Structures are given as structure tokens and as C-alpha cells.
Structure 1
């Protein structure tokens, strides 16, 4: 009950509302909606905000093949960040991975039992060349076994707010390709599936939480040291990178995927003039022509960069029209606030839309009566400045709708008992005087 009361208070705690003209409309209503993508499912989002700019069948759960490796990359970066593993760790290669790594029909780099490989080397082979045995070795190194790692993958998907997903291994191969060494508890012919919306959401989190992934994903060509005197060429499967057959301006990632079930799929990203787009195409084009997934992605990139513009609705450091928020229990009864960063929106060109601005206090900063309470530290987040459109824009699941954090600009110390007592006395006499005034006024009315 208290939680509901707080949520209700936060919703109505609006310090100011402005109705302004804004050049924006949701993509689906824009005249520029002319792109036709040949794929079983496709989506395009703004890589900074998560705003959906194009969608087609984005909630059907389909096989994703090696796009699965984006979750493996996420968990690897997280393990590095938390100190669980290090880039220079030597990875133990399980015996069954040696023959798997030599299967020419799968994307791999050959691993040898008489040579040591580091986390960084295996990661590069995974991110650039989609090496499957390398991926499985990393999974076991991080979690102790691939079975335990798959459990982490599904747990992390839930934490990230993904809706449609089922991870069955770390690589994205069909389990039938693993010669019986698939993770325990998963079907012998199982394959990882996700919706296009969830794939885009995973890519969004990977790029925003660990942008360093692009340092490797953007490498067009590298070599893998397979042994003391053996190097293997690793051309990136992403043909949209600089110097590749489908080179596209600003393209710098992210992950291809191909199996019989998934067809030719691709999660792409490109940056132009400060705007990043993320696209997903699943089972794109002719199944016999792998490069058609890049043709379909190019259609989305062209559409996004040619027909949308990114504008700043609210600037960093901006004060609301009334930037003072009431504080309970503080030496001061109000605290000034400003926005913590720019709020940007992708908008179809030459479209107009009205919006309002709303201030809402974070629930964890309120007491049981729905009041902002002291103490408060300068720079501390206390709420959100939200932008509400008449025709709402859509965001990928789990991503905050258009809004920017509000932070306090001054310290507000907790008031002592004397100050609170004086305020209580003042309120008592103020209330008594109001009551007397109302009574006397009633005599003569």
C-alpha cells in the first residue's frame, strides 16, 4: 500500500508543465515510412536513447545464431569489471573443444593442446571471427562450466529487462553441432532464440555499458596466434566495416549470425554526426546469399540517417521554470535542482508535435507520506524531468521513456529538534489563526 501511495505521489508531483512546439513524431506516423526490409523480423533504434525508429514483427521469438555471442561478451566484460577474470588469464581448453575448433564447417580458429591462450586472444577470435570453440572456452573459464554460464546468460537477460529469450549455449550454434557436449539441461537439438526487440535491447546495453566492445568489433581483419609457428587469418564477418565489400560510413559493429534455423541475421551499428543507430535483421534476404543481410541493414541505416534528426529537448544544467523542490525535515525547506545531462530525441524531419515537461521525485527519496526528505547532498539525484508527447514515442522494453535526471545543486542538512519544534509551533498558530478567521468571517456572512 505504501508503495502505491508513493508511486501515485510521484506521478502527480509536477512542479511545472510547459506546452511547446517540437519538431517530432513517432516514426510510424512519419511520411518518411517508405523503407521495405526483406527479413523475418527487423528493428532500428536510436543507440543512445533506445527509441524505436522502425519495427517489423519485433516480438516473435526466432533463432539468432551467433548474435548470441553479444550476451557472452556482456558477461565477459562484466566479469573483467568485477575482477573475476583478467585479460591476461590463461584459459584451460577442455578436451572436447580441440576437435570442435578444427571443424571447417563452423566458424572457428584451430586450438592446440600444446599452446596456451589468453582471455584476450580468445575474445578477439570470438568478436572478430565468431570463433565458436573459443566462445565455449571463455564461458567455462568465467563460470566454471558452460552449463553454469548458460544459467548466467538467462539470469542476466532477466536483469536487463529482456522479454523474449531462451539461451541454450554460449555460442549460438545448434546444440546438434556440439557432438553431444551441449550444456546439461538443454535440448540436444536446441538453439538460442530471441525476439528482434530483445536482441536490440541486448545490443543497446552492451554498447552503453561496455562501449569498448567496439574497439574489437570494428576491426576488419586480424590474425590469431594458433601456435608457436601458426597464425590464422581472421577477416571480420561484418562486411559493412571499412575496406569490406559492403562498407558503410560510420559502421563499427556489431555481430553476425548464421545457422539453418536463423538464416542470415545481423545486429549492426553505425555512428554519423554524433547519432548512433542500432539495427537488427533476422533471416534476411535470400538464405543462400549471406551478404543480403547487409543490403537490408543498409536500407535501415539510410532511412535512419536520411530521414531522422536528433535534437536536444533539454540541455544539461538547465533549471526548471520553478527549480525549487520542497524538502521535509531540512534546515532549508526547499532545494534547487538542475538537469544532469542533455535530453535528446530522434525526430522525423519536418514533423511537428507538442509535448509537456513533468518533474517527478524518485520513490527512494521520499518518506511514507510522499515527501522529499533531508539530508540531501549537492549533485545527488532526486528525480526525473520527463518529456510527455501527445503522440508518445516508443522505446525498447526496460528503457526509461524520455527523461533526464534532476540533481540537487545545494547541500540540505537535516534540521535539529529545535528548528522542527519551532516550525511545528508556527504551523499550530497559523492553523489556529486560520480557524478563528474562518469562524469570525462566518458570523458576518
Structure 2
């Protein structure tokens, strides 16, 4: 009986160890096994640009109407620069009208010989993903869509997008546009972006122009006497068949679909002051792009926390000072100027440490700082080091270092000329005595 009891307890203990191993493993390992039904995907912290999850993030795919985020950015920039404003009026060109009148493009039905305000064209573009209003705005800003495409590619380079090619303002395939496609672009070409570059574009859009979210979060609205609906089903729509896709906190950003691109979605959501950006590309269906986005958002909000890993004023033990010469003090204390605060997987704070990088150009040959030294002077940097697997940042990738300045904690005044002279004399005789001792030792060695 005792043997059976011991055997049962041993089996139970073994089971508990297995469970603890399974559920207690570092979250970075669990993150590796996290998968999505999408060709490519990425999850980014909108404040820091930290990549929280990635699947084939550098795979270049057609973004379809997610292209319009670049058009949205350039319109916002033109308004900020004073080139146009929300009340600026424009009329619809033959090109834009032909796109709007074509049922294949399912436009909002623009009319010619009518003045449209920038605000209403922008809303139709951002909410209903309308192609003709996008072209109208591109023409207003650059004169032609051809010249607007040049602005798009120039801005992409300025932003640091790594994988991109813009051939039109809408995200349609050039083949669909035929002879109306922007001049200088190939008839078979289409816009191209990776999930990483798409997320970086969204990062700049929501951080530089957060007012875009006031528009992208509108589920339905009236446009020119008709109701238009947002293709983002994660918003609180009135239609009952869309309610299952609602996700609390979602307020943007842009859907995309063409036969070539498949179904894609760039989403963003905020909860308790924390904003996330997601991109899923080439899912199997319209529904799937929102279901997979919900998985990403759940993962980001549930598994990550913003953590102050090391506070401002932090000092590494045994590296708290730097020796000083020609000063009234023989050393100076150093500390971090700012705190290290980033989103981390819950429970992983012990996997972070700090490494110092002292600026050697400030030191003499013996490794000393030379007085006088002002309080708060930068003497190097402190780098945050992570022991686990890391997806890096949306800008700079895995090679980006997270650093803060190392600064001095107090002033160190320079010795006056008399004390410096005495020190020099003392050093002279000390060195002379050492030389004599070494010479005598040499006689008897």
C-alpha cells in the first residue's frame, strides 16, 4: 500500500514538473510558437516602435488599398505645411471620374462640375477606401498622379521604409488602370510593401498625425447623400453581421484587397493608454484578416507590459565612478540620465541587464577624466542588454541598440596652480624614487 502511494505521488510530482516546465517557460519561447493564418504579419508597440511579434515581416507583397496610408500621410503633410486645408475645394478630373464611374472599382459615384472639399474626399478615401477620391487628392497636391507617385517614393525613403515600390496612389494593379496608369510605371506593375514597411508607415501616420484616427474610427457616415461604410469590421458597426468582429479599442487603420494581393489589414488599437499597430498580409478571406488581427492584439495586450527596467540615476555596482586627474576629487560618480522603459513579455524583467560604454576620447592614456568636470556631463552610454530572442524595432531592426546617456553626478573642480605644482613635484620624486629602486634591484638580480 505504501509502495503504491509513493508511486502515485511520484507520478503526480512528475506531472506537476512537466506542467510547470510547459507553462513556466520563458514567454520568448512561447512567442516563437505563436502562429497566424497569414503569409506575413507583424505586431508593433506604437510608442517605442518595439516589434513584439513577427512572421515573415520582410516578405514583399502587394499591399492593395493599404497603399492609401501613404496618400493619407502626404495629404496630412500638405495641410500641416499650409499648401491646402480641409476646406480647400477641387473638381474631379476625367481620370478620377472614369474610375468612380466604373462599377468594377465600386466607387462612391463622384460627379464632375462640382466642387468637393478636401475633408469629404479624405473621409471617403480613409473610411470607404474609395479610389477616385484618392486620385483626386493626389492630383490636387502634385498636379498629376504621376508626380504624386514620385512624392510617395521620396517620402518612403525619408521614412526609412526598407521594402517598397509605389506605382500609383490607390493600390490598384496598374493593369486595371490601363493607359490611365501613372506615366513611367510598368503596365504589369503593382505597389509593393513588406509588413515591416507597412507597419513603419502606419507608425509615422498615427504618431505624426494622430487626428487621422478621428476619421479612420468612423464606422458609417453620409457622403454626398449616400451612406458609406468602413471596411474595417473591427469597429462598432450597426450591421449585425459585422458585430462578431468588433474589438474594443480598435480605431483604425486600413484594409486592402485585390485578387493579386489577397486580403490584408493594417490595424491599430489602444487600451489603458497603450497603443499597438498590427499588419496581416495575404489572409484567406475578409473575415480571416480581422480574426488574425484579433489574435495579434490579444497577444500584445495580454502578454506584454510597459516596464521601467532601470530608473533614471541607476548605477552599476563596481562601475559607479571614473578616476579623475587634475581635480580636487580623485574620482567622479556616474549614473544613467534617463530610465529604461520598454514593453516586455510579462515575467522577463530578470533577462535584462545594462552594459556601459565609456567614451574613450574623453579619457587620458591612463583612463582618467581630466578636471574640471561639470555635473551632468555625458561620459558615455548605457546599453540595455536582453538575453532572450528579440524581434528588434520597427526602425533599425534587430541591430538597433537601446541606449541612454551616462552622465556625471557632481562637479569636480580643477586644482589651483599651486596644488597642481605640488602634485607635479610629488609625482616627479615618486617616479624618481621608483626608478632608483628598480635600478638597485637590477644590480642584484
1:201 matched to 2:200: yes
Structure-2 change in CA distance of 1:237 and 1:78 (3 Å): same
Structure-2 change in CA distance of 1:424 and 1:396 (3 Å): same
1:238 matched to 2:235: no
Residue correspondence of structure 1 range 287-366 to structure 2 within 5 A: 290-315=286-311, 317-320=312-315, 339-340=337-338, 343-347=341-345, 349-351=346-348, 353-360=350-357
Structure-2 change in CA distance of 1:85 and 1:259 (3 Å): same
Give 3-state SS (helix, strand or coil) of 1:291's partner: helix
Which residue of 2 is the match for residue 39 of structure 1? Answer: 38
8 Å CA contact 2:62, 2:190 repeated in 1: yes
Residue of 387, 392, 395 corresponding to 1:390? 387
| Structure 2: runs of 5 or more not aligned | 1-23
What TM-score do you get using the length of structure 1 for normalisation? 0.75
Structure-2 change in CA distance of 1:391 and 1:436 (3 Å): farther
| Structure 1: runs of 5 or more not aligned | 1-23, 225-229
8 Å CA contact 2:51, 2:394 repeated in 1: no
What TM-score do you get using the length of structure 2 for normalisation? 0.75
Which residue of 2 is the match for residue 128 of structure 1? Answer: 127
Q: Aligned partners of 2:121, 2:375: CA distance in 1, in Å?
A: 45
Give 3-state SS (helix, strand or coil) of 2:255's partner: strand
Q: Which has the larger radius of gyration?
A: 2
TM-superposed CA distance for 1:422, in Å, is 9.8
The range that moved more, 431-440 or 269-278, is 431-440
Q: Aligned partners of 2:79, 2:407: CA distance in 1, in Å?
A: 33
Residue correspondence of structure 1 range 183-202 to structure 2 within 5 A: 183-202=182-201
Which has the larger share of helix?
2
Residue correspondence of structure 1 range 220-235 to structure 2 within 5 A: 220-224=219-223, 230-235=224-229
TM-superposed CA distance for 1:381, in Å, is 8.8
Which residue of 2 is the match for residue 9 of structure 1? Answer: none
| Alignment coverage as a number of residue pairs | 407
8 Å CA contact 2:39, 2:282 repeated in 1: yes
TM-superposed CA distance for 1:67, in Å, is 0.7
Structure-2 change in CA distance of 1:89 and 1:350 (3 Å): same
Which residue of 1 is the match for residue 13 of structure 2? Answer: none
Give 3-state SS (helix, strand or coil) of 2:392's partner: coil
Which residue of 2 is the match for residue 140 of structure 1? Answer: 139
Structure-2 change in CA distance of 1:310 and 1:111 (3 Å): same
Structure of higher RCO (CA pairs closer than 8 Å, 6+ residues apart): 1
Q: Aligned partners of 2:257, 2:384: CA distance in 1, in Å?
A: 40
The range that moved more, 383-392 or 261-270, is 383-392
